[in-house]
């Protein structure tokens, strides 16, 4: 009965869709956000000295050469490099990571093909396969998951395409399935955050942890390092509260509001990423606290958080450097020329506190 009357409207649908698309396209042209006049966007030059440095590899750590891997020497300049990004570039870390790869490729004059899996693992697999069929000679992958890479690894091995993975590891045999893995040591980041927390609180009192998303290796490792170091160095510092803030500012704010309500005596908050730390700052401001009442330590090193250190609301930020470009390309360059490269390359992350935040603000991403 209803169906018959609907026929006439079917034609209207494409019109509506087209209209919607037109709206979406024109809407940004007349937008005016707050920052249009002044600008907080940093100049790329400022970031130049923020390149990743490698922790000196332990003697005897495993290396890989092109002979062991089985491939042919090529000159990086004539090569095409494929880069597969895992998550959409919606947070400062991913934006800086992709940008760094692109900048380094441009600097070295290497042809770069990029793909973004938008946080879908199946898409990342097909992205990499597409890159392989497009004929890339080398691959840089920021994996979304550690497992499930077999089909890609086989395809790459068949074409003898060397793979370097960054920021997360692939569960496979190094120097056989992939060449090297370049990343920060998240456990170490947790330990260093604990050091800063111990210093800021004097090693006594009660502290809280704002955990990242559950089931994420970054969360588990940053928690592990922090607790280990606190237990070992400052047994009087007690972790009395551990709740997830899902790596977002909003959840960080909400959880901190509950926390300072029920534990008014809390001395410090360790946020496992900057966004949750900034949420905690918003909660403290909302509760009428002053900067420095509660010591906040965060991990990542985004610009907003380092600015928070300058303003006195955040006591310290441990950096997790996303600028993989130079190191990834250097590794590929060395490898393709026949030199030895380490299988595990750990980055030396820096840190920001009240002493260096202002002068190093340009290094933050």
Question: Which is it for strands 180-183 and 351-353: parallel, antiparallel or unpaired?
Answer: unpaired
CB-based contacts of 263: which residues, under 8 Å, 6+ apart?
206, 208, 240, 241
Pick the closer one to other proteins by CB: 164 or 210. Answer: 210
Pick the closer one to other proteins by CB: 31 or 158. Answer: 31
Query: Which residues, numbered 261-320, are part of the site for other proteins (CB under 8 A)?
Result: 261-262, 264, 275, 278-279, 282, 286-287, 304
Minimum distance, C-beta of residue 254 to other proteins, in the bound complex (Å): 6
55, 63, 80, 88: which one binds other proteins (CB under 8 A): 88
Range in contact with other proteins (rule: CB under 8 A) among 7-15, 132-140, 169-177, 194-202: 7-15
Minimum distance, C-beta of residue 3 to other proteins, in the bound complex (Å): 7
11, 14, 15, 31: which one binds other proteins (CB under 8 A): 31
CB-based contacts of 40: which residues, under 8 Å, 6+ apart?
303
Q: Which tokens belong to 255?
A: 């959880």
110, 112, 128, 255: which one binds other proteins (CB under 8 A): 255
Minimum distance, C-beta of residue 60 to other proteins, in the bound complex (Å): 41
- Phi first, then psi: what are they for 180, rounded to 5°? -140, 165
Pick the closer one to other proteins by CB: 88 or 169. Answer: 88
Q: Which tokens belong to 3?
A: 């169906």
User: Does 348 contact other proteins by CB under 8 A?
Assistant: no
User: Does 11 contact other proteins by CB under 8 A?
Assistant: no
User: Does 206 contact other proteins by CB under 8 A?
Assistant: no
User: Does 90 contact other proteins by CB under 8 A?
Assistant: yes
CB 296 within 8 A of CB 280: yes
User: Does 343 contact other proteins by CB under 8 A?
Assistant: no
Question: Which is it for strands 316-319 and 351-353: parallel, antiparallel or unpaired?
Answer: antiparallel
User: Does 249 contact other proteins by CB under 8 A?
Assistant: yes
Residue 176's CB: how many other CB atoms inside 10 A?
Answer: 13
User: Does 227 contact other proteins by CB under 8 A?
Assistant: no
Coil vs helix vs strand at 315: coil
CB-based contacts of 162: which residues, under 8 Å, 6+ apart?
66, 69, 71, 138, 139, 178, 179, 332, 335, 336
Question: Which is it for strands 268-271 and 205-211: parallel, antiparallel or unpaired?
Answer: parallel
15, 28, 60, 109: which one binds other proteins (CB under 8 A): 28
- Residue whose C-alpha is closest to residue 48's, from 95, 107, 3, 2: 107
243 pairs with which residues across the strands? Answer: 210
Pick the closer one to other proteins by CB: 53 or 285. Answer: 285
Which residues bind to other proteins, rule: CB under 8 A? 1-3, 6, 9-10, 12-13, 16, 20, 23-24, 27-28, 31-36, 88-92, 95, 211, 214, 240-244, 246, 248-251, 253-255, 257-259, 261-262, 264, 275, 278-279, 282, 286-287, 304
């Amino acid at each position: 009965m209803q169906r018959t009357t609907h026929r006439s409207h079917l034609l209207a649908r494409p019109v509506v869709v087209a209209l919607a698309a037109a709206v979406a396209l024109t809407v940004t042209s007349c937008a005016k956000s707050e920052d249009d006049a002044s600008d907080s966007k940093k100049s790329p030059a400022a970031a130049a000295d923020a390149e990743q440095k490698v922790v000196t590899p332990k003697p005897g750590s495993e290396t890989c050469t092109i002979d062991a891997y089985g491939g042919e020497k090529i000159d990086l300049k004539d090569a095409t490099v494929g880069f597969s990004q895992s998550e959409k570039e919606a947070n400062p870390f991913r934006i800086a990571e992709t940008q760094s790869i692109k900048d380094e490729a441009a600097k070295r004059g290497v042809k770069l093909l990029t793909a973004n899996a938008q946080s879908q693992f199946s898409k990342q697999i097909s992205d990499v396969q597409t890159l392989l069929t497009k004929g890339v000679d080398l691959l840089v992958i920021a994996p979304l998951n550690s497992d499930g890479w077999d089909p890609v690894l086989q395809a790459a091995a068949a074409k003898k395409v060397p793979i370097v993975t960054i920021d997360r590891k692939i569960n496979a045999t190094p120097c056989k399935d992939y060449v090297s893995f370049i990343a920060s040591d998240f456990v170490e980041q947790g330990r260093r955050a604990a050091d800063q927390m111990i210093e800021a609180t004097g090693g006594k009192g009660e502290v809280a942890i704002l955990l990242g998303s559950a089931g994420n290796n970054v969360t588990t490792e940053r928690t592990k390092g922090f607790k280990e170091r606190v237990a070992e160095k400052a047994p009087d510092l007690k972790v009395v509260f551990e709740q997830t803030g899902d790596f977002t500012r909003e959840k960080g704010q909400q959880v901190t509001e509950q926390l300072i309500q029920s534990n008014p005596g809390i001395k410090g908050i360790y946020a496992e990423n900057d966004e949750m730390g900034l949420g905690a700052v918003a909660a403290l401001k909302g509760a009428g606290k002053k900067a420095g009442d509660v010591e906040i330590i965060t991990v990542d090193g985004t610009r907003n958080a380092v600015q928070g250190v300058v303003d006195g609301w955040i006591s310290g930020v441990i950096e997790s450097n996303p600028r993989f470009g130079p190191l990834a390309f250097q590794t590929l360059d060395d490898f393709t020329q026949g030199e030895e490269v380490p299988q595990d390359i750990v980055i030396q992350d820096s840190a920001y506190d009240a002493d260096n935040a202002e002068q190093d603000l340009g290094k933050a991403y």
